[in-house]
């Protein structure tokens, strides 16, 4: 299955909010408190404002399968305060709002979006992809471990945020991943052979 990643356009905000609400309902149906109002999850209008700003800054991306939107990710160098140290932030890009449409779950779209974050990280000359995951959601932690991340630590206990499980993966660890190689091609597309200048051999 071919997954293509493109920058989010401003009119993708409704799509991204729809994905967030779809997965929030999915989480609630599984009995998880992730993203719930009771557990201080972001209200949807606040989420929309944050993503809108990220899109305007070119930090948000859409995964497409056969031209249909299948997921989203935001990647930048900001995180909630007191999660990562300044040195950690300076050497990483941070993943936010990774969501895959349920219709495309289990097909590797999430891994492909994470690999895209890794390719962006390498392009910026940084070494770590980092993210915070919902502290109590151990199934989500398992997902990140299977995607090659390791738990750096759980921030707190003084942190009020419910998303304090800090995961990270070093850039060197991605290099052989097939999805990473695809992501590099997205960012630096191969020039078709016909577009290279023809150089005659300098002999004879």
Ligand X SMILES: CC(C)(COP(=O)(O)OP(=O)(O)OC[C@H]1O[C@@H](n2cnc3c(N)ncnc32)[C@H](O)[C@@H]1OP(=O)(O)O)[C@@H](O)C(=O)NCCC(=O)NCCS
Given the complex with ligand X, which of 98 and 166 has the nearer CB atom? 98
Given the complex with ligand X, which of 109 and 155 has the nearer CB atom? 109
Given the complex with ligand X, which of 19 and 55 has the nearer CB atom? 19
C-beta atoms surrounding 68 within 10 Å: 10
Give the interface with ligand X as residue ranges (CB under 6 A).
23, 27, 32, 34, 98-100, 105-106, 109-111, 131, 133, 137, 139-140, 143
Query: Which helix (DSSP H) or strand (DSSP E) does residue 66 occupy?
Result: none
CB 43 within 8 A of CB 31: no
CA 21 to chain centre: 18
Given the complex with ligand X, which of 34 and 60 has the nearer CB atom? 34
Q: What's the min distance (Å) between Cβ of 110 and ligand X?
A: 2
Q: What's the min distance (Å) between Cβ of 199 and ligand X?
A: 44
Q: What's the min distance (Å) between Cβ of 76 and ligand X?
A: 14
Q: What's the min distance (Å) between Cβ of 58 and ligand X?
A: 21
d(CA 122, CA 108): 21
Query: Which helix (DSSP H) or strand (DSSP E) does residue 131 occupy?
Result: strand 128-133
Q: Which of 98, 93, 167 is nearest to 132 (CA)?
A: 167
């Amino acid at each position: 299955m071919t997954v293509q990643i493109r920058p989010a356009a401003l009119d993708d905000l409704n799509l991204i909010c729809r994905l967030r609400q779809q997965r929030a309902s999915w989480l609630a149906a599984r009995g998880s408190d992730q993203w719930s109002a009771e557990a201080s999850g972001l209200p949807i209008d606040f989420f929309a404002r944050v993503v809108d700003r990220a899109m305007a800054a070119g930090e948000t991306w859409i995964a497409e399968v056969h031209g249909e939107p299948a997921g989203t990710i935001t990647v930048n160098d900001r995180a909630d305060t007191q999660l990562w140290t300044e040195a950690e932030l300076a050497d990483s890009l941070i993943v936010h709002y990774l969501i895959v449409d349920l219709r495309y779950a289990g097909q590797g779209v999430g891994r492909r979006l994470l690999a895209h974050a890794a390719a962006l990280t390498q392009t910026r000359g940084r070494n770590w992809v980092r993210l915070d995951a919902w502290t109590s959601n151990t199934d989500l932690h398992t997902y990140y471990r299977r995607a090659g991340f390791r738990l750096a630590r759980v921030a707190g206990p003084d942190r009020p945020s419910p998303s304090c499980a800090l995961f990270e993966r070093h850039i060197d660890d991605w290099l052989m991943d097939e999805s990473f190689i695809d992501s590099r091609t997205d960012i630096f597309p191969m020039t078709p052979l016909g577009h290279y200048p023809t150089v005659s051999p300098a002999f004879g």
